[in-house]
Chain A
Amino acid sequence: MRLTDQEKAILEGKHGEARRIALLILADLGELFGAEEMMDISQVHIDSSAYMVDAGLEFAERVSELGGRVAVPTSLNISAIDLKRWKEYRVPPELLEKCRRMEKAYLKMGATPTWTCAPYQQGMIPRFGEQIAWGESNAIAFANSVIGARTNRYGDLIDICAAIVGRVPRFGLHLTENRKAEVLIRLAGITNEMFGDKAVYPLLGFLVGEIAGDRVSAIEGIPKNVDVDCLKGFSAAAASSGAVGLFHIVGVTPEAQTLEMCFQDTRPKAVAEISPKMIQDVEQRIWTAKGDKLDLVAVGCPHFSFMEFRELARLMEGKKVHSSIAFWVFTSRTVYGWVKSSGMLKELTDSGIMVFTDGCPLQIPKETWHFHVMMTNSAKSANYCYSQTGLDVAYGSLEECVDSAVRGKICRRILPWRKHLKDIVSYPVNVKGK
């Protein structure tokens, strides 16, 4: 890789040890992926901010102590806990201490305390075509695909290196030619009624991730009026079942106004189809709960938007969370402020819902909460639920999460495309709420 004089000086240690290590790691990555040079980036989103394992804390503290400071605007992903409401979140002292150390290290480096996995919905939103370096797989897929900004799938700790140097190797999804779709995925036989059920979008995303793997895909057949929160759930699921950094939705995402645009006037290397049966099957595959027992409903993976709170408040109107159920919502501090100002927060907490900021439904303190089964409207959450929390998981729309929380057991609506899940209490859509 060709290095500038400035970069050579950094590698010689003339700009401090933190920048030297950061650039050394980035240069290795660049060599590996055939980059010819480094390039500027205008912002970074750091995924490594959540305390999960000691290596992450050791790295952050070391870089911070060595004088590492961010060179470009830098947002932070989740913390492992709610840093403000840690008492209600029953955070064990040792975990709290490690999360605080993590917070201290990143704030010392100059990162913005955004503490959210949906940085694209408020705060530091990149522009179309902007070259950025983001961590957090859902945010990467969203930024590339829905906004049309350009980032590779940067792994934890590489994101810190990028923030400190302010540059990354020029390779992968930063380059136009690599943003071309290789796989065409057609949706076949999925009715408007099915698209009306928001639970379908994360399942579609999950299937797209499985089909696409690490390739860029173009998806044909998604309604043009799909809302941003559905695209969020879709991105998160696709980036959890596959190594998806970028997808195109024909007629919806900015680099995909036409099929020709997606494929940059080449032919697809592979074509696949998604049928209603596949959606039914994937829902069964991510579902590990047996029977209808439930003790936790957790939504906000990725973090809840204001519009999602509005929908939740509408669904909860006049209802109370069942005494045997904990109902948690995770969001950013920014959205929390809006929800509080709007009066919705009081309505929701009065109905028995707990709203947390900063944290993540997959980082439940296991020593202090003893749940067995979680229900979620996120296919990403469902995918990692068992391996990250040890809980079994059930999946449904936000409406079904609310119904289940109110009744105290897993409930599903009977819809024409859902003929499975025999053990679960299901009820026809027209008598919901009874």
Chain B
Amino acid sequence: MEKTFKGYCVISGECEGKIVVTSQAISFAGGVDPITGCINDPRHELFGQSVSKKVLAFPFGKGSSATSLFLLELARVGKAPAAIINVRTEPILAAGAILSKHFYGKEIPILNLDEKGFRALKTGQRVFVNATKGLLTII
């Protein structure tokens, strides 16, 4: 049964894909390998998992200001997440997607959901993200 959540568009774009969900914050710099797109922070619950081409849901970003650079690099090498779902998107993370759009012409849609919507997301679900309209549909 399809279920749609209304959220807030941070970076426009749309995609369909499998979702990977974590309740832990992520720092792309020092948290995601820029070559493989896998989580490489050994303390993170997603350690070892690839976020490349996935819809990646985490509550908010954290850590190093090089996160924007690492997200841009993932876009450059074609290993970026297909879309990002946050409760709140902080400027450094948003910057990575803005840079990617203007510098490489590659979109990484970012959508914010409220905490209730975020909690309904489960790893492995197939979702359609229309960040432009602020919508996420669990297929």
Binding site for B on A (CB under 8 A): 21, 24-25, 28-29, 32-33, 47-48, 50, 52-56, 58-59, 62, 135-137, 140, 152-159, 172, 209, 213-214, 239-243, 285-286, 288, 362, 383-384, 386-388
Contact = CB atoms under 8 A, between A and B. Distances in A.
A158 B95 CA distance: 7
Interface stretch (B14-22, B63-71, B113-121, B123-131): B63-71
A157 B63 contact: no
Most buried by A among B59, B63, B76: B63
B103 A59 contact: yes
Contacts, number: 145
Contacts of A158: 68, 91-92, 95, 99
Contacts of B13: none
A184 to B, nearest CB: 20
Contacts of B90: 153, 214, 243
B91 A240 contact: no
A155 B91 CA distance: 7
A56 B34 CA distance: 12
Contacts of A286: 43
B98 A29 contact: yes
A137 B64 contact: yes
A25 B11 CA distance: 12
B88 A214 contact: yes
A155 B69 contact: yes
Interface in B78-119: 88, 90-96, 98-99, 101-104
A137 B59 CA distance: 19
A132 B96 CA distance: 20
Most buried by B among A159, A243, A384, A388: A243
A285 B44 CA distance: 11
Contacts of B34: 52-53
B65 A28 contact: no
Contact of A137 (B25, B63, B94, B96): B63
Given A62-B103, A153-B92, A209-B62, 8 more contacts: A59-B103, A153-B91, A156-B95, A239-B63, A240-B64, A243-B60, A243-B63, A288-B42
B107 to A, nearest CB: 13
Contact of A387 (B11, B42, B67, B93): B42
A48 B61 CA distance: 18
Given A140-B65, A384-B30, A28 B73 contact: no
B42 A55 contact: no
Most buried by B among A48, A153, A286: A153
Given A213-B25, A240-B63, A242-B62, A154 B92 contact: yes
B73 A59 contact: no
Nearest to B101: A28
A153 B89 CA distance: 12
Contacts of B62: 209, 213-214, 240-243
B95 A55 contact: no
B46 to A, nearest CB: 12
A52 B30 contact: no
A24 B102 contact: yes
B134 interface: no
B70 A53 contact: yes
16 contacts: A29-B98, A33-B94, A53-B34, A54-B73, A55-B73, A55-B75, A55-B104, A56-B69, A56-B72, A153-B91, A157-B69, A158-B95, A240-B62, A285-B43, A386-B40, A388-B30
Given A55-B72, A243-B60, A384-B30, A155 B40 contact: no
B31 interface: yes
A386 B90 CA distance: 25
B98 A387 contact: no
A47 B66 CA distance: 7
Contacts of B136: none
Given A25-B102, A56-B73, A32 B94 contact: yes
B92 A155 contact: yes
Contacts of B91: 29, 33, 152-155, 158, 172
B55 interface: no
A80 to B, nearest CB: 11
B52 interface: no
A54 B25 contact: no
B28 to A, nearest CB: 10
